[in-house]
Amino acid sequence: MKGSIEKEPFSVDDCAPTVPEAVPSVIKSVETPVSSTIIPSFPPLYSQPFAGTRPDLEVEFDSLCFLVEGCPGMLRFRLTPRNVSGAGFDEICLVLAKQDSAGQVHSRTISRLTRVREILIQLPEQSAGVHVFSLELDCRVGNTRYQFETETSVMSIRPNEAKQCAESIVMNITNNISNGNASDIRLSQNASRDLERLAESRDPLSELRKLVNGYSRAYQKLEVFEIGQSVTTPPENAARETAAIEFFGRQITLFVKSEVTFGRKSECDISLRPLAGVSQEIVDRYRRISRHHCRFEFSDRGVTVRDESTGGTFWNGQRINGTLTLPKSVQGTFSFGRCGVDAVTLAVKSFNNAFILSRTDGKPDKFVIFKGALDMGCVDTALAGISVSLTRGALEWCKDVRRGWFIPGALLCDGPARVKPELKGE
């Protein structure tokens, strides 16, 4: 599943176990960010076997749920932990995406799943037709994470199609009972009888909504696939917040810091020093760079550049007076110490979640400042298909069905790229 985070409302209500007499009690849930690229991972690196029976998760969908064109809707799921100790799952992150529409991705986190739990998912308005939704669940037990996914289809009707919708749901419930997918035959039969009475109603849409929002349930079992297992805590030798990837004579330095410093001193995140063996003229250029020349501050709005030098920092030929905020999706050139043909320059290309700087002095190095997650293919085509995200203070890579951590000196994705031991300096 790929896409950016949906800005429209999405909520999860945590309810009591579903019996007709139960009155749902709402528990506030906590929202968590989701990486812009979500890639299944099996088998992952550094995974730990689970002692005893493997944990499992049963997912059921309420067949009564439907959507109405032009109106906010609701989906109802039921989660049941299996083969887990009394503590259950410590945490579950749900990721819901509509498969036929890129970008509609939603996420919520549930803490402590120890019993049957009903989940209500509020959706923005949808067009009429049948919509397919996929649900990915990231479940944590201690330091081990188990990933599951499933999907279901939901009908979105026009306001005058309530009777036809009720007939379709009755047929679906009947099929679930006959093929053994109905979770509770008695409840499903009761819901079916309630739906059949809608034919006599003067306002079938209102009655259908009351039925769905009431105590009637018709849960069906969904086929759940386990897509991976990995350890959520990175190894002690994992690169923290910064990693230098070297391949084919090139180097890409990744930063996920909110602030990156530039200057001539080696303690700067990006140390701007001349290559060995260059002419005295080029060495003189670099002497115009201050020890701590400037800093880049990354935010959701873009990148703010703060000049702290005596010789000046220039953006596309214009000197920066104090600070300059660059929006997303911008290209240009930074010059340090002087603007002109003899300046030290870095070419800039910006994406929605990354700010990429390339050297222009003959060395094919790149510096990438990013937040959240990054598709490495947009940085260098040789790394197409690899995504990088910050996980618990360390950099984690994903490619196809593989996942691992950036470890200094280790191979990346079984390819020629290695993570350099030294993370700063040249």
Question: Over the range 29-48, which residues count as b (16 or more CB within 10 Å of their CB) and which as e?
Answer: beeeebbbbbbbbeebbebe
Answer yes or no: are the C-beta atoms of 307 and 323 closer than 8 Å. Answer: yes
Residue for token pair 């599951």: 148
The model's pLDDT over 59-109, given as tens digits with 9 standing for 90+, comes to 999 999 988 988 888 889 999 888 877 667 888 888 888 766 554 566 667
The model's pLDDT over 406-417, given as tens digits with 9 standing for 90+, comes to 888 777 765 667
pLDDT at 61: 93
Top-tier CATH class for 12-231: mainly beta
Q: How many Å apart are CA 186 and CA 358, to the nearest integer?
A: 66
Query: Once rounded to an integer, what is the mean pLDDT over residues 366-380?
Result: 82
The model's pLDDT over 287-339, given as tens digits with 9 standing for 90+, comes to 888 888 999 887 767 788 899 988 888 888 889 988 988 877 788 888 887 76
Q: Which fold has domain 242-419?
A: Tumour Suppressor Smad4 (2.60.200)
The model's pLDDT over 122-159, given as tens digits with 9 standing for 90+, comes to 888 888 888 888 888 888 777 677 888 888 989 899 98
pLDDT at 39: 27
Query: Higher confidence at residue 1 or residue 353?
Result: 353
Q: Where are the domains of the chain?
A: 12-231, 242-419
pLDDT at 219: 94
Q: How many Å apart are CA 37 and CA 413, to the nearest integer?
A: 17
User: Closest Cα partner for 72 from 166, 160, 156, 162?
Assistant: 156
pLDDT at 416: 67
**Assessment of whether the complete model's pTM goes beyond 0.75:** no
166 pLDDT exceeds 60? yes
Question: Over the range 112-123, which residues count as b (16 or more CB within 10 Å of their CB) and which as e?
Answer: ebeeebbbbbeb
pLDDT at 317: 86
Query: Once rounded to an integer, what is the mean pLDDT over residues 214-234?
Result: 80
**Token code pair at residue 377:** 């293919």
Answer yes or no: are the C-beta atoms of 396 and 405 closer than 8 Å. Answer: yes
Residue for token pair 């060495």: 283
Query: Once rounded to an integer, what is the mean pLDDT over residues 350-366?
Result: 78
**Token code pair at residue 136:** 């990915």
Return all residues near 316 (Cβ < 8 A) that are at least 6 apart.
Answer: 332, 333
CA dist 398 to 2, 247, 306, 380, Å?
A: 13, 17, 33, 16
Answer yes or no: are the C-beta atoms of 59 and 244 closer than 8 Å. Answer: no
How close are the terminal C-alpha atoms of the chain, in Å? 38
User: H/E element holding 191?
Assistant: helix 185-196
pLDDT at 30: 27
pLDDT at 421: 58
Query: Once rounded to an integer, what is the mean pLDDT over residues 55-60?
Result: 88
Q: How many Å apart are CA 214 and CA 273, to the nearest integer?
A: 69
